[in-house]
Amino acid sequence: MVSVAEAADIIFSNLYKPAVESVPLQNSVNRVLAEKIIADRDFPPFDRVSMDGIAIQFRQWEIGQKEFVIEFTQAAGDEQKKLLNPEHCVEVMTGAMLPQQTDTVIRYEDLEITNKRARLKIEKLELGQNVHRKGLDCKQHDVLLTPGILLSPAEVALLASVGKIKVDVFQLPKTAIISSGDELVDVGVIPKAFQIRRSNTYAIEAAMHSMSWKATQFHFPDDKEILLNSLRTVLNNYDVLILSGGVSKGKFDYIPAVFEELGVRKLFHQVNQRPGKPFWFGASNEGKIIFALPGNPVSTYMCFYRYIKPWISKSMGIDVPGISATLSSDFSFAPTLTYFLQVAVKSELGKLSAYPEAGGGSGDFVNLKNVTGFLELPADQTAFSAGEIFPYFPFRNLV
């Protein structure tokens, strides 16, 4: 048996080495960037008018001019024009180039315009106001984005701005999600009294969604021969296998033995944690990675977020920052196991407060609908006090 920290170390020292693929810009969100993105121009690329109104020479206002004849209009999308008479102004629109010989923009709200004459209604003016200066946000040739960024809509805007029709992103491993258990039937089936619908594979596939990680689902019975043959085929065809069920001490828990027969190296079996103690992890000589999680739904779920999600993130070079939250009420857990305490986290006065929602054990996945994630409570402590801070693993964003 290994500790949680040892299990994480072993998993994170067996990262997947992703290839790079090119995807259309519109499919790049939630993918991980695999190339450096350089600004092809200054941001903004010209002195950009940032308010609809008029552009003047500040100097004129300084020497007392309050009323300006409109010489012409500079719209967004027009080539840059030039103010000829410094006592005049130019009507300008947001997004337009600031006309030559002007330096300051006054918005319509601060003007009275009659008969092509604009009169200032305000007493204060600043040189350069309402002008978004060329290169203020970033300079041409600056590095805008580096590999290892999980692309959000904000980065998609940057990629679009620099003309990336196609984007290099890291390829995700070809992944199989496998459930096993003779009591499990598929979702579309009405279960008999002794059966349940399998939910773990769907939960895992759904959890992978936020990283655009796709998988194929399989289900095999608790039959050693069938498992041996089926898992051999899956192993040949997929890079990563995520299993749930069949790794405990039950008479029909064949998974560890089957992988051993298939020549997969066991890297650990059993982690000093609750839930999820029977977790088995291995790698094949061909570099295939196998996460065999215990089948209890809460165990499967927590192991995914504690180990597999950070594993895939690290594999693609994402910097995974640890999050912590403050326990909001006293809690005790006597066994010398790391305890993953289900909590509902709320943001309170700028800190994350974690309200225990312990639930009814690793089979009680109804409880998961009430929780936002779990706190990792260390094995060597039995009493946990309100106000103590622990690592927090979120399942969902706060709303």
Amino acid code (one letter) for 161: S
Closest to 391 (Cα-Cα) out of 299, 320, 332, 322: 322
- To the nearest whole angstrom, how small is the minimum distance from the Cβ of residue 10 to Mg ion? 24
- Interface segment toward ligand AMP; rule CB under 6 A; list 20-28, 95-103, 118-126, 176-184: 176-184
Chosen residue from 18, 173, 297, 373 binding ligand AMP by CB under 6 A: 297
Nearer to ligand AMP, 57 or 230 (CB): 230
Q: How many residues bind ligand AMP (CB under 6 A)?
A: 20
Choose, by CB under 6 A, the member of 246, 276, 282, 373 that binds ligand AMP.
Answer: 246
Nearest distance in Å: CB 186, ligand AMP? 10
Minimum CB distance to ligand AMP smaller for 155 or for 253: 253
Which parts of this chain interact with Mg ion (CB under 5 A)? Answer: 181, 245-246
Residues 204 and 216: their CA atoms lie apart, in Å, by 11
Of the pair 196, 323, the CB lying nearest ligand AMP is at: 196
Q: Which residues from 326-385 bind ligand AMP, rule CB under 6 A?
A: 363
Q: Cα dist. 130→39, 47, 49, 94, 126 in Å?
A: 24, 10, 6, 9, 9
275 near ligand AMP (CB under 6 A) = no
Least CB distance to Mg ion at residue 253 (A)? 6
276 is a site residue for ligand AMP (CB under 6 A): no
- Contact in structure between 106 and 56 (CB atoms under 8 Å): yes
Helix (H, G, I), strand (E, B) or coil at 7: helix
Per DSSP, the residues of 47-67 read -EE-SSEEEE-HHHHHTT--E
Contact in structure between 338 and 312 (CB atoms under 8 Å): no
Torsion angle of the four alpha carbons 339, 356, 359, 250, in this order, in degrees rounded to the nearest 10: -10
273 binds ligand AMP (CB under 6 A): no
Q: Position 397: which residue type?
A: N
Contact 189, 197 (CB under 8 A): yes
Q: Which of 124, 73, 129, 89 lies closest to 105, judged by CA?
A: 129
| C-alpha Rg value of the chain to the nearest Å | 30
Residue 275 or 373 having the CB closest to ligand AMP = 275
Nearest residue to Mg ion, scored by beta-carbon proximity: 181
Residue nearest to ligand AMP (CB): 295
End-to-end CA distance of the chain: 38
179 binds, among Mg ion, ligand AMP, none (CB under 5 to 8 A by kind): ligand AMP
Question: Which residues of this chain interact with ligand AMP, rule CB under 6 A?
Answer: 179, 181, 183-184, 196, 198-201, 244-246, 248, 250, 253, 294-297, 363
